Amino acid sequence: MIRLKTSAQIQAMREAGKITGEALLLAGEHVKAGVSTKYLDDIVRHHIEKRGAKPSFLGYGGFPGSACISINEEVIHGIPDANRILQDGDIVKIDVGAFFRGYHGDSANTFYVGNVAPDTKRLVEATKESFYRGLEMVNANYRLGDVGAAIEGHVTQFGYTVVREFVGHGVGSELHEDPNVPNYGVPGHGFRLRPGMTIAIEPMVCAGSAKVRVLSNKWTVVTVDGSMAAHYEHTVALTEDGPILLTKVD
């Protein structure tokens, strides 16, 4: 069941979204060679707690971190680890959620560690751009299939692929609500977008095959072929006046 939000509820979600966006931005500013993924996780947790919120991911399904931090061929759900040290040339995906006054925010970005190869940067830029192509479809004239088709259509022109086993989702008083928001789709199909919908749009894009598997730690999702993967996510509210990016602070 899709839980439509009132404008007052969307207003409340702006606060959770802002804290989420701030924590992600702050963690991104600390990305550099030599720091551990646990260090970045601590920055996220401290900021969220300082703002009187709770990290949405901490303890979610038993997840041990406040952020999911995934390097290179790791797509999503990387576990923060004091022994995982960022190296020059890596890309690191940081995914953050904050719960504040009854609502969650959810946002992710991919950051460069030092000197990143040009073809990897192209993957990251295409992934971010695909989010905005999907966002163009977020109005009451379109359906979720239009959003997914726009995302997939943008990245496939570069030979990239979208992950199919993991998708975006509704966000609200629960971190994951209906509907699923796939990064693929058939134009004109799927749920019609309606004002009051609050969804996380989150393209997960691979440089090679879209095949992924979960590591033996039961969390980290990696590309089977070892190719690089990028991730970009915002929580988006559709209002009568159009979409609002609840987690965008920069």
Query: Which window, 11-19, 47-55, 105-113, 129-137, contacts Mg ion (CB under 5 A)?
Result: 105-113
For the chain, percent helix, then strand, then coil, each to nearest 5?
30, 30, 45
Q: Look-up: residue for tokens 């609050």?
A: 198
- Separation of alpha carbons 179 and 43, rounded Å: 31
Question: Residue 23 or 149: which CB sits closer to Mg ion?
Answer: 23
Binding pattern to Mg ion, positions 178-217, x when CB under 5 A?
----------------------x-x---------------
Rg (Cα) of the chain, in Å, rounded?
17
Name, in order, each residue with C-beta under 8 angstroms of 55's C-beta and a sequence gap of 6 or more. Answer: 44, 45, 48, 49, 66, 67, 96, 97, 98, 99
Member of 19, 92, 108, 201 binding Mg ion (CB under 5 A): 108
Query: Shortest Cβ distance from residue 101 to Mg ion (Å)?
Result: 19
Query: Shortest Cβ distance from residue 169 to Mg ion (Å)?
Result: 6
Note whether 99 and 239 are within 8 A (CB): no
Binding pattern to Mg ion, positions 38-77, x when CB under 5 A?
----------------------------------------
Q: Look-up: residue for tokens 């033996």?
A: 216
Per CB under 5 A, 106 contacts Mg ion: yes
Member of 90, 95, 152, 177 binding Mg ion (CB under 5 A): 95
Query: Which window, 16-24, 30-38, 88-96, 110-118, contacts Mg ion (CB under 5 A)?
Result: 88-96
- Separation of alpha carbons 199 and 208, rounded Å: 27
Residue among 122, 73, 113, 123 nearest 227 (CA): 73
Query: Shortest Cβ distance from residue 69 to Mg ion (Å)?
Result: 12
β-bridge mates for residue 46, sequence order? none
Query: Shortest Cβ distance from residue 247 to Mg ion (Å)?
Result: 9
Question: Residue 75 or 108: which CB sits closer to Mg ion?
Answer: 108
- Residues in contact with Mg ion, counted by CB under 5 A, come to a total of 6
Give the interface with Mg ion as residue ranges (CB under 5 A).
95, 106, 108, 200, 202, 233
